[in-house]
Structure formats: structure tokens, C-alpha cells
Amino acid sequence: MTAADLIFYALAALTLVPALWVVGSPNIVHAGFNLLLTLLGVAGLFAWLGADFLAVAQLMVYIGGVLVLVLFTVMMTRVPQAREADSGAKRAILPGLFALGVLVVLLLVATGTHWGAPALTDAQPTTAEIGANFMTSYIFPFEYVSLVLLAALIGAAILIREPRGTEEDDEAGAAVETAEEEVQS
Amino acid sequence: MMDVGLSHFVVVSALLFCLGLFAVMKRRNAVGILMGVELILNSANLNFVAFSRYVQHTIDGQIMATFVIVLAAAEAAVALAIVLAMFRNFGNVNAATATSLKR
Amino acid sequence: MNLAMSENAIITCALAILVLPLASYALTFFFGKKLPRKGDFIGVTFVGAAWLLAIRIFLQFWQQSDPSFRVEAGFTWVDLGGFSIDAGILVDGMTSVMLMVVTTVSFFVHLYSTGYMHGDRRYERFFAFLGFFTFSMIGIVLSNNLFFLYVFWELVGLASYLLIGFFFHKHSAANANKKAFLTNRVGDWGFWLGILTFFTATGTLNYFELFAHVHAGTIQGTLLTFAGLGLFMGCLGKSAQMPLHIWLPDAMEGPTPVSALIHAATMVAAGVYMVARLFPLFGPTALLVVCYVGGITAFVAATIALVKTDFKRVLAFSTLSQLGYMVMSLGAGDSVNAMFHLTTHAMFKGLLFLTAGSVIHAVHSQEITDMGGLRKKMPITFLTYMVGTLALAGVPGLSGFYSKDGILGSTLAMGMVNGHYLPFILGIVAALLTPFYMFRLTFRAFFGKPADQERYDHAHESPWTMTVPLIGLAILAIFVSGFNTADKGWFSKFAAPYDVAAIAAQYPIESAGHHLVVAEHAGESHAEAAHAEMVDPHGGEHAVAEGHGEEHGGHHDIHHTAHVRAMMMSIAMVILGILGAWWVYFLHRIDPSKLQARLPGVYRVLQGQYFFDELYAATVYRFTLWWSHLCSAFDRIVVDGIVNGTGYLTRMVSFVSGSFDRYVVDGAVNGVAAVLQGAGEGFRRVQTGRIQTYLVYVAASVLILILIYRVL
Amino acid sequence: MGEHILSWMTFFPVIGAAVIAFIPSERKEIIKTVAAAAAAIPLVLAVQLYIGFDRGTSAFQFVEHYTWIKSFHIEYFMGVDGLSVPMMLLTALLSFICIIASWRIDKAVKGYFALFLILETGMFGVFSALDFFLFYVFWEVMLLPMYFLIGIWGGPRREYAAIKFFLYTLAGSVLMLLAMIAFYLNVSDPVTGGHTFNMLHMFNQANHSEWLQLTNVRHLIWLGLFIGFAIKVPIVPFHTWLPDAHVEAPTAVSVILAGVLLKMGTYGILRISYPMLPDAAQWFAYPMVILGAINILYGAFCAMAQTDMKKLVAYSSVSHMGYVLLGMGAMCKVGVDLQSAQAAINGAVFQMFNHGTITAMMFLGVGVIYDRAHHREINGFGGLGMQMPVYTSFFSFALFAALGLPGLSGFISEAMIFMGTFPAYRTVAMVSALGIVIGAAYVLWMLQRVFLGPKNDKYDSLPDINAREMFTLVPIGIIVLLLGVYPMPVLNLMKVSLTNLIKVVAG
């Protein structure tokens, strides 16, 4: 077991253990903070895989943008003392069963398949290559995605708009804009 | 214990996916559901990057992952806007109450 | 004075007679409300002008010595480069008489209505409809082919519909006009099929061309019989012969002038006119049927008239009976006397209805039980009424005597030739009943003590607009016969039987078109022709001897003998009838109510008009309604396949055949509905509207799919 | 506009629809005015078509012929002959009148009028297309707006009715599509030798492939086409969409549905099935006549049992379309003489026209009373003749026209059909003629129950017909009356083409 392996397991744990809380915590705020850790773990795994650009994007977009947005929403929509009323085990039986089933199937596939993967080669910086690809082969998807983002931006703004125009609008709009900017960067 | 390979990442991603799936199915809080979706998306991203690294040796997987991240951001923005609208209309964010489509 | 008119002038005149009432209709219908006096003067003057023109044409034919003189003009109305329909006008002696009859009565009725309908809310409409009727009726008279005959035939039906239903706010009127139209439509169905048969066989609808075709044998045998019977069905409906007579009594719901004009004098006579006009188209067998139908109608209607107490209804049944005479005469092969009786009847029956209107106007009741002693109050009405009654009863000297006598004579002659005496017997019995019921009416309404003193006190003579027509028609009712029988008097040259051979010579039959159809019929008609001869071997001609000219001296003798005998008998019957009525209703020697009590069955049958209405209600009407409901239900349940009207079904099924069906079918339907509903409920529960539930289903489905994929 | 009159007529309404799309939905009056104008111009062009149409030839006129999709041999090929011109006139007239009659529509005005205009385009297109594919396209273009017009602006059970209409018609379209493809693959263009959608090539039997000349194949294709069109006519037993659609549809849509759409079925049979498969038409003559008789009597009986005015009128349409079928069948009996065939087919096409006008009047009439009383229950009225005399006159006029009163146009077409059918199929004609009795029965019964009898106090306040409604009824009434007195103006248009059709079918 090399140091790299150890790092991997640590990162995997950082991803999965908080994820349990994300799923299970009755307190939505706790869940939100645990999601932060999970996303951090995934970013770490990206970095472990040599995807430096993605790791950074993950940090900035997800943790900086999405998560802030999530937390804002959580704060704004929180009814005092209203925990998840129906977090009881009974409700979780059927979903749990099916999720477990899917998991079993996936694990069987993951372990039962001979991947025949070659050993790792040295990781190269990927940012330049990704940028070049965006401007050449992936130019159309790239532009489409920009459009989608624009549409989402406008859509979110319209959805959130209240006829009388309260402060919430501005906040939500600002939040969306933040996300937008970070993606662009 | 074998070397960390593709199958490890697939296993991690599978676990993450199932947790996300479970969250989406179980959570009543709309924001909670959204978090579950994020988990699922992240598991997919992990797979993209891992396969890109181990199998294909090209950058395509990472580009896909980039798109997924971008779309996830868009989705989060819209979904959260909906959640806010819902909160305004129903007074809570319980997904079970938003069944106006029924009938 | 030279009365000669050029042919063009005659046609122009005839067209003017046709158009004037139409113009009156259009003007009064659209502008009547805005005109002074609501435009009634338009109707009176326009129809009056038409009347003068008709007199002009009549005089032209009066001085015309050739009885077969006729004027025809027409144009191609529809031309498809092969198929065509012509429109045209025919003016001959018969036309001129009919024009006279129609315009005279119409004019008097128009004049009369200005008094009778005064103050009615839809006064102008009334005159508009009268104009429309006159137009249509003149159309029937003038048209020279079957197609336009049918067109105007329907239009008078519409006019009749509108006028019977003039007081449509009464349920009885609304029912009566529908009944009249529908009954006529049944007759028209046969009429139309008859027309189609002639058209198919000969390729033409022009009267004279048809005669030529019949003469040439293009259409003969059974086909001719059936075609003729088809045409006669039209007559059954329009002239209210048994068994389609049921509408005429109900038609009395219309205003009285309408009853006089349409349902006594002119429209109901259209059937008779039609048969007389198309006389050569009727084969011997068809004529025998016609004769029996007429005889039975004459008798049955007369018996019903004995017991009715509604003034107008008695007259209505009397009309039926007289129409039966005319039709019987046609069947006996005597179209001249039929037309003669039509003419005289139009005068005196029109007169009688107008007097009835005058009485009703004064008493405000139609029941003779409300009347009595009116002769002192309404002298003019009474006198004119008596003229009409005597004419109708057949008292010698008045017009009705000569025409009715001629009919009875011809019928007897037919019986003596071919052994069918029944129509004559029915006719002579009706001749006994006619004076009886008419004098019953007379004695009860005009003589004796007033039954209702209050009504009596309010009664008064009608205004001049109403009495002038009465007097005019009364004069005509006396003089119209010329105090002579049809074959000897002025009438003989106006309705002379067709000389078919001469006509055939004028219209050479082209062999163009309809080859195939003729060929198709030919095979059948050869065989049938033989059959027809067997039924009526050579004697068939006897029945129509009158119509086809008197060929044999022997026939002439029979004819003469028959007429003398018939005249004797009919005079005896008239005297007996009047005396009987005098005995019972004037001297009160027999109490009719006791007679009623003695013969309850007979009375009920007569009062119930032989239960024809009930019979039709129980059979035709009921069946049609049941069948239509069945069709509709079939549509909904079987064809549609979707049962959404269980209640409707229940009603329909109970209609069909009682409770058995009801439980079985209903149960099945409810079962289906319950299953569908249950399934719907089940699926509804699955459909929660919660995305998460759906997601669970998705996950489960994926799992199941994978498992299936793995296992299999 | 003179050269491309058909294209202008067809596409002007759609231009109008496009304009309407840019008008703010609050400006209802402007939308209505634009719609009326967009429907009025085709009406003017229709008059021009009527005047300019050469009555002496059976060839197609005002032809426009361009290549559209070359690789599939699809052409933009429009033209009219004596069969289609009366239908074009009818469409132009009724569309305009329906726009006026829709003035009181208040729900989603913009969408309504836009869809209506698109529908009009589809109708014109169907009647003037000479390329089978183009025909099919227009046929489908028509279907969708109709679905929405019923489904959105309809009565309480509108979804049910709309879906039923849609499924029925779609089923018909599928059969037509199959037949069309069969023709496409088996008819060769005499010039290029390739496949073609050109109807004129399909008419020419010499272009048919060997497979298409097999009797069984021809009969099968005939049946497919026939059922496809029969659904539209509608021929019993494919008719049950009609009463539901009519009951739920708004007045103007009912008018178009009964006045024009039903004619497309019979038009399709005459335009496509007859010339392309004349032998199959002869083979099917007797069944057609029988179906016609069933339609007449069955429709009439069903109408008698109805208590909803609109449903009654709808079933009367079924009955009246039976006459058309009767005449069409009688025309192609083997060996029938020319005169009878002429009477039958001219009567049938004339009946198509007349039914369009007369039924339009009836539906408009029902619409008038529905607007006031908000129900159509026959037994719920009574004595309206006193309350609304002018309206009563109009409605009675329509009803008498429907029962075939001489002097009004419906009588002439029915009479001609009978005069043509009787020589060919005597028994069937005799039985069908009973339809005139039953027709009178249901019409008069309804007339009595609604207008006659004592006045119903409940309706004391109903106003009589207003000027706008008169404006919709009077033109049709005048046409019905004029054609009833002198039918040649319309018969002249069609007689040469139809005589040619007889020759084509008779071989």
C-alpha cells in the first residue's frame, strides 16, 4: 500500500462518511454542511486523478456557488422548530430497499467486471487542453451550455420574482448571479 | 489489498450514487432532495473522470464532467428558485405538499 | 265582342295569375307590418286582379269550340347536357276552370278575412300565407309536368302547415299542423315513387308525352298499375282519402277562412285534379282501387258526420265524404263529373265554411250545442247557409245535385258493366246521410230555441266584408252548374276526356335515352301485361269507357240507364234524408240521445272516428318512436361502445320489452361501469403526484429490468 | 393575384393567423377584425374564381405546378375543376360567416381565431391540391386546429369529444396514408419513369404497375381509402364521433365541421378513389348505395330520438350525407345510362353544397338560442314562436330546407339523386325515399316542441335575433332560396367535370 493509496482511501472516506449524514441527518443545516465535506472529498478525488482543472472547478462552483446557494435557501425556508417530521425509519424502508438493491447490482458490476485498465501514467496539467477542446471540438456544446445557463438565470429570476418585489428577489437573483460568475471564471 | 484501480473509483461512485438515490427518494425536504441530486451528479462526475483517466487516456471525460458541473449549477439555481417559490406558496418546502399536478 | 287571345297572351295572363299572389305574399310578409291596414288591401287587390285575369282566360276557353285546345310553354330548367328537367305552363279547359275555382274562392276568402281576422296579432302574416297558398295552388294547376306538380304539391302542403298552425300557441293547432304535414308526406312518398317510376320508364315528365308513352305501351301492365297507385297515394294524402284522411278533421284548428279555402275548396281537391289531369296514366286495376277508396271514404266520413257536434268538424267530415265522391267518380272512369263536382263543391263548401265562420264569429263557439235559433239574428248568413246546405244535400236545381248525380250514375254504370256494385251502394247510402247530417246541423244551429241565451243575445250579423263573399259564393253555388249535367251543360268542353290517340300522334316517342331501364322493365312487363289482361279481360275498358270516349253504342245505353236510375234513387234519398232530419231534430219525434244509449258501440265508434287516430298512435306512431329510440340506443351502446347514459338506456329498454331486459342489460352496463371505475380508482392511487413516489417506481423498474436481464 | 388565385386563397388565412399572433391578446376587437379581413379576402377571391372559372371544360384550371421536395417527387400542384370549385366557394363563404358568428367568443380570443384561420387554410388546400402528398398534408393541417377548437373552446365534455374526433380521424388518415404510399410506389411518372405523387398520373391507369392492376389489390386499396374517407363523411358505423363533436364544439366550429369537413370525405372519394380505381368503384357501387340508405334512415331515426338540438342536427347531417352516398353509388353502377348517372352524381355533389349551407343555417340557429337560453334541450323550450318571431322565421326556413321543401335548394339535390338512383337501384331508392317522411317527422317535431305551443314564461325576456346574427344567416338563406328556385348557377359549374367523371368510371 503506497502513500497514494492511503490518500485515496482517506479521500474516499471524506466523501462517503459525510454523505451518510447528508442523507440521514434530520437537520437540514447539518446535512448542508456535510454536503460541503462530501464535495470537498470529491474535489480531492479529482485532484488525485490528476484532473486539476476539475478539482478547482469543483471547489469554486460547487462549494463556492452551489453550496452557498443551498445554505441560503435552507436558511430562508426554514420554519422554526420544523425538523423533518417524517424522518422515521418506516418511511425509509421502501426507498432503502431499492437503493440497496441498486447498490448490490452496481457493486456486483464494479467488482465482477474485469476492467483491464492499464496502470496510471503521469498526470499532466489539463487546463490548457480542456480550454483548447472547448474552443475547437466542443465549441457547440460549450455555446449551448452558455445558453442554458443564461436561460436558467433568467428562469430563476422570473420564478423567484414576486409581484410586489421583496428583498428575497434580490438575494436570490444575486445568488444566481454569483453562481453564474463562478462558472464563467 | 490491491492497488487503487478503476474498480475502486467505481465502487466509491456506486456508494455515492446510492446514497444520493436514497436521499432523493426518502427526503421530504425539497432542499434535501436537491442535495441528493448533487450527490448523484457527483458520483457520475467521479466516474467520468476516472474512466477518462484509466481507460481512454483522453481529456473527453473531464470535459463532460465540466459540463455536468455547469449544468448542475444551472439546475441548482432553478431548483432552488422553485423551492423558494414553493415556500412562498405553500408555507413549507415539503415535497409531499406540492401535488397540485394531481387531478 | 271578340274574346280571342293569342297564345302568348294566354301564357302571359297565366303567368301573371301565378305571380300576383306571390307578390302579395312577398309584400305582405316583409312589409306588412309597416303598411296601413297591415297591407291586407294588397292581398285583396292582387288576388282580385288574378281573379279578373282568370275570368279573362276562362272566357277565352268559353268561346273556344275545340275542347282539345291547349297552350303550352316552357323552358329547360335544369340541363346537365343529357339529363334535364323542364318547367312549363299548360293552359287548357281544365286549367281555366281550376284557375277560376281557385281565384274565385281565394278572392272571396281574402275579402272575408279582412273582417274575420280583424285585430289578430299576426294579421299581416295571415294574408301573406294566404297569398303564398294561392300562388302554390295556382302552380299546381298551371304546371305541365309531374316534377313541378310535385314541387307545388309540397308548397301547398307548407302553406297548409303554416295556416293550420296559425294559432300555434294552442297545443291542438301545433299538433294538427304537424299531423297534416306528415300524413301528406306519407302520401307524397308514394306520389314521388310514382313519378320516379314514370320518369324511369319513359324518360319524361311532361303530361302529354307521358300519355303518348302510355298509349305506345312504353309502360304498361303491373308497372303501370303500381305507378298509378303511387300517384294515387299523393291523392290519398292531399285529398284526405282513407286511410290517410286523419289529418283533415284536425286541420279545422286553422282559422275558418283557411278551412274554407284550403281544406274545403281548393287544396284538398288538388288530389282529384291531379288524378283527373293524369287520367290516362291510371290502368284499370288502379282505377278500381281508386273507386273503392273513394266509395269507402264517402260512406265512412258521412257516418262520422252524423254524430259530431262541432260545427266545423261536421263540415270537415262532409268535405271528406264529398271528396270521396269525386275520387269514386275518378275510379269509375268519369273524370268529367269528378271535376264538375270539384267545381260545384268548391263553391258550396267554401260557402258553408264561410257561413260557419260567420256563425262562430258571432257566437264565439264552434259547438252546435251552444247555438240554436240563429236564423233570426243572422238572416244573410242563414240564407246563404241554406243555399249551401241544399246544394250539398243534392236538392234538384242547385249545383250539387247535378254533379253528385252524375257521379252516382257513372258509378252505377261501372257496377252494371263489371259487377262492382259496392262503391255505388256506399255512395247512395252516403247520399242519404248527407242531407240528414246537414239538416241536423241546420235545425240545431239555426232553428229551435237558443241553447245558450247569453251567446244568442250577443250574436249579430257579420260586417259587409264577410257577407259579400257569402252572397257571391251563394249565387255561384246556385248557378255554377248551369242547371245541367256535366256532359250536357257548359262544363263538357272544359274537362273533356283526353283524346289519347291524338295526343300520341302529336308526341312521337323518341327512343333516346333510358334504353337500359326500359329493357330492364320490359321483361317484367310482358308477363305482367298478360296478367293484367287476365284480371280484366277486355272489360277493363268498360270501367274507363267514360274517360276514353264512348266507343260502343251498348255502353252508351248502359250509361243512360244507369244515370236515370241513379237520379231517381238519389232524389229519393235526398227527400228521405231531409225528412228524417226534420223528424228527429225539428219535430223531436225521436230523441237522438236515446238512440245513442241504445247503440253505445256504434255511437262510440262513430264519435271516435272509427279509431283511426288511436290505431295509428298505437301502431305507426308508436313503432316509429320505439324504433327511433332503438336506433339511437344502438348508436350509443353498440356502435359507440361507450356507455355513458345508463339512465337513458333504462328508459329505452323499458320502452322495448319490459323488465327482463331491463335487469340483464342494466346489470351488464353497470358492471362494466363499475369495473372501469374500480380500475380508475386503483390507478388513481398510484398517481400520487409526488415525484419521489415516481422515483421509487423508476428505481424498482430498473432493478426489475436488470434482474430480468440477468436471469434470462 | 389573378395567376395564383388558389395559393392566395389557401394561404391568405394563414398570413392572417401570423398577423394575429403578433397582436397583444388584450386587443380582442383588433384580432377579430383582422380575422374577419383574413377570411373576407378569400371570399372575394372565391367570387373571382366563380366568375373566371371556365364552365365548358373538365380540365383542371388555375393550375399551379412547382417542384417541392424533389427527392420524393413531391410537387406543389394545385388546380380546381367542377368538383372542387363549389366546395371552394362553400368553404370561403362558411369560413367568413363563421368568423362573424364567433364574435362573442371570449376565451383565448387570439388562439381561437388563429386556429380558425389555419383550419381554413387546410380546407382550401384539401379542395385544391392535385398532388396526393400535398392533399394529405392539408388534410392533416386541418385536423389539428379542429382538435384544439373543440378541445379548448368546447362544452363541458370537450376533451372527450375532441379526443374521440382526433382518434377517429387519425385512424382514417392512417388508412389513407397506406393507400397513398401504395399508389406512390406503384404509379410511375410517364415522363421520368420514377415514382410520383401527381394525382393526374395516378388517374391514368396506364401508369399503374402490374401489382396495382391486380383486382384484389385494387379492391383492398379501395376499401382502405373508402374507410378512411367514410370516417370523415361519416358513414354508419363510423359516425359516432360526429354527435359528440358537434354537441361539444362551439357554434362556429360546428358549422365548419358539418358544413365543410364532412364534405371532405365524399370529396376525397370522388376526387381520389373514383378516378384512380374506377373498376373498384363499380365493384363497390351496390354496397355504397346500401350504406347510403342505411345512413339516411338510421341517421333520421336517431335524430328523432334526440332531445339535444345540436345532436338532432348532427344526426340529420348523417342522414343527409346518406343521400350523397346514394347518388355516388348509383352513378357507378355498371351499365347505368348517362342521364341517370348525371342526375345521380350532380345531385350528390349539389347535395354536398346544399347540405353545407342548410346545416350551417341550422347550427347557426341553434347557436343563437344557445347564446340566449344557455341550453339546447328541445323539451325545455316551447312557444318561442311568440317570443322571438323573426328568429322563428329564420330557423323554420332552415328546418324546412332541411326536410327537403321544394323551392329550397335541398329539395333539388335530393330529387336529382332519387331520379338518378331509381333507375339503377329501384328497391333501395324506394326505401331511402322513406327518409323524406322521417326527415319531415323529426324536423317538424322539433319545430313544434321548440317554437309552437303555449309560450313558456321562463323565456319572457329572451331578445329576438340581433343584426349580427341576421348578417350570418341572411346570405346563406338567400343562397338556399336562389338555388332552390334556379339551381343552374352551381350545376353549371360542375356538370361538365362530373360528366367526365362518369365517363372515367364507366371506362
CB contact under 8 A, B25 and C692: yes
**Confidence (pLDDT) at D360:** 92
Q: Cα separations (Å) of C143 from C47, C88, D140, D260?
A: 19, 6, 50, 36
CB contact under 8 A, C703 and A101: yes
Q: What angle do CA C185, C426, C353 make, to 5 degrees?
A: 55
CB contact under 8 A, A98 and C706: no
**Confidence (pLDDT) at C690:** 67
**Residue pointed to by grid coordinates 362551439:** D250
Partner D contacted by C522 (CB < 8 A):
no
CB contact under 8 A, C158 and D400: yes
Which tops the pLDDT comparison, C686 or B21? B21
Work out the burial of residue D344: count CB atoms within 10 Å of its CB; fewer than 13 is exposed, 13-18 middle, 19 or more buried: buried
Q: Give the separation between CA C400 and CA C322, rounded to whole angstroms.
A: 10
The total number of structural domains in chain A stands at 2
Q: Cα separations (Å) of C643 from C223, C635, C650, D123, D207?
A: 48, 10, 12, 33, 49
Statement to judge: residues A10 and A69 lie in one domain: yes
Q: Select from B44, B35, B27 the least CA-distant residue to B95.
A: B27
Last residue of a domain, one of A52, A78, A104: A78
**Confidence (pLDDT) at D121:** 92
**Confidence (pLDDT) at D358:** 93
Partner B contacted by C710 (CB < 8 A):
no
Which residue stretches of chain C have pLDDT < 70? 1-3, 509-556, 638-691, 711-712
Whether D149 contacts D253, CB under 8 Å = yes
Work out the burial of residue D458: count CB atoms within 10 Å of its CB; fewer than 13 is exposed, 13-18 middle, 19 or more buried: exposed
Show contacts of D333-338: CB within 8 Å, 24+ apart: D333/D282, D333/D285, D333/D286, D333/D289, D333/D424, D333/D425, D334/D282, D334/D285, D335/C516, D336/C516, D336/D423, D336/D424, D337/C513, D337/C514, D337/C515, D337/C516, D337/C517, D337/D423, D338/C82, D338/C83, D338/C513, D338/D499, D338/D502
Is the pair C, A in contact (3+ CB pairs within 8 Å)?
A: yes
Residue-wise pLDDT tens digits, C47-87: 899 999 998 888 888 887 777 788 888 888 888 888 888 88
Q: How far is CA D2 from the centre of its chain?
A: 26
CB contact under 8 A, B102 and C692: no
CB contact under 8 A, A20 and B19: yes
Q: Where are the alpha helices (DSSP H) in D333-425?
A: 338-373, 384-387, 389-402, 409-424
Residue-wise pLDDT tens digits, A18-31: 998 888 887 788 88
DSSP state letter for A113? S
Residues paired with residue B94 on neighbouring β-strands, in sequence order: B29
| A115 belongs to a structural domain | no
- Partner residue facing C640 (CB), from D240, D400, D438: D240
Statement to judge: residues A70 and A137 lie in one domain: no
Work out the burial of residue C656: count CB atoms within 10 Å of its CB; fewer than 13 is exposed, 13-18 middle, 19 or more buried: middle
Which residue stretches of chain D have pLDDT < 50? 1
Q: Give the separation between CA C246 and CA C226, rounded to whole angstroms.
A: 24
Topology of domain B6-90, per CATH? Helix Hairpins (1.10.287)
pLDDT tops 80 at residue B2: no
Q: How many CA atoms lie within 13 A of A152 on its CB side?
A: 23
Distance of residue D480 Cα from the nearest chain C Cα, in angstroms: 16
CB pairs under 8 A between A and C: 16
CB contact under 8 A, C690 and B95: yes
Give the residue on C whose Cα is nearest the Cα of D417. Answer: C196
Q: Give the separation between CA A15 and CA C511, rounded to whole angstroms.
A: 106
Tell me the three state secondary structure of residue A179: helix
| A149 belongs to a structural domain | yes
Mention every residue, 6+ apart, whose C-beta is less than 8 A from residue D499. Answer: C80, C81, C82, D58, D338, D342
Q: What angle do CA C230, C236, C241 make, to 5 degrees?
A: 150
Q: Give the separation between CA D43 and CA D87, rounded to whole angstroms.
A: 12
Biggest alpha carbon distance in chain A? 62
- Partner residue facing C690 (CB), from B26, B99, B103: B99
Distance of residue C514 Cα from the nearest chain D Cα, in angstroms: 6
CB contact under 8 A, A105 and C699: no
- Partner residue facing C703 (CB), from A94, A95, A98: A98
Is the pair B, D in contact (3+ CB pairs within 8 Å)?
A: no
ipTM of the complex: 0.65
Distance of residue B7 Cα from the nearest chain A Cα, in angstroms: 6
Which tops the pLDDT comparison, B3 or C689? B3
CB contact under 8 A, A98 and C700: yes
pLDDT tops 70 at residue A84: no
Chain A residues closer than 8 Å to B55 by CB: 115, 117
Show the 3-state SS of C59-80. HHHHCCCCCCCEEEEEEEEEEC
pLDDT tops 80 at residue A166: no
Give the residue on D whose Cα is nearest the Cα of C651. Answer: D305
Whether C329 contacts C413, CB under 8 Å = no
Q: How far is CA C677 from the centre of its chain?
A: 57
User: With a CB-CB cutoff of 8 Å, which residues 191-250 of chain C face chain D?
Assistant: 192-193, 196-197, 199-200, 203
User: With a CB-CB cutoff of 8 Å, which residues 116-155 of chain C face chain D?
Assistant: 147, 150-152, 154-155
CATH of the domain at A47: 1.20.120.1200
Distance of residue C683 Cα from the nearest chain A Cα, in angstroms: 20
Q: Give the separation between CA C524 and CA C225, rounded to whole angstroms.
A: 13
| A90 belongs to a structural domain | no
Tell me the three state secondary structure of residue A118: coil
Partner C contacted by D163 (CB < 8 A):
no
User: With a CB-CB cutoff of 8 Å, which residues 67-96 of chain B face chain C?
Assistant: 95-96
- Domain parsing of chain B, residue ranges: 6-90
CB contact under 8 A, C699 and B21: yes
Chain D residues closer than 8 Å to C639 by CB: 236-237, 239-240
If one counts every other C-beta atom within 10 angstroms of the C-beta of residue A120, the result is 14
- Partner residue facing A103 (CB), from B18, B45, B77: B18
- The whole domain housing A135 covers 129-185
Distance of residue C685 Cα from the nearest chain B Cα, in angstroms: 10
Give the DSSP letter string of B29-53.
BHHHHHHHHHHHHHHHHHHHHHHII
Q: pTM of whole model > 0.90?
A: no
Among C681, C683, C685, C692, the residue to mutate for chain B (most B Cβ within 10 A) = C692
Q: Give the separation between CA C72 and CA C88, rounded to whole angstroms.
A: 7
Mention every residue, 6+ apart, whose C-beta is less than 8 A from residue A137. Answer: none
Helix axes C221-238, C284-305, angle to 10 degrees: 20
Is the pair A, B in contact (3+ CB pairs within 8 Å)?
A: yes
Q: Give the separation between CA C99 and CA D66, rounded to whole angstroms.
A: 64
Partner A contacted by C699 (CB < 8 A):
yes
Whole-angstrom distance between the N-terminal and C-terminal Cα of chain A? 38
**Confidence (pLDDT) at D337:** 85
| A175 belongs to a structural domain | yes
- Partner residue facing C706 (CB), from A95, A99, A105: A105
| C-alpha cell of residue C493 | 268542353
| A99 belongs to a structural domain | no
Chain D residues closer than 8 Å to C158 by CB: 400, 405
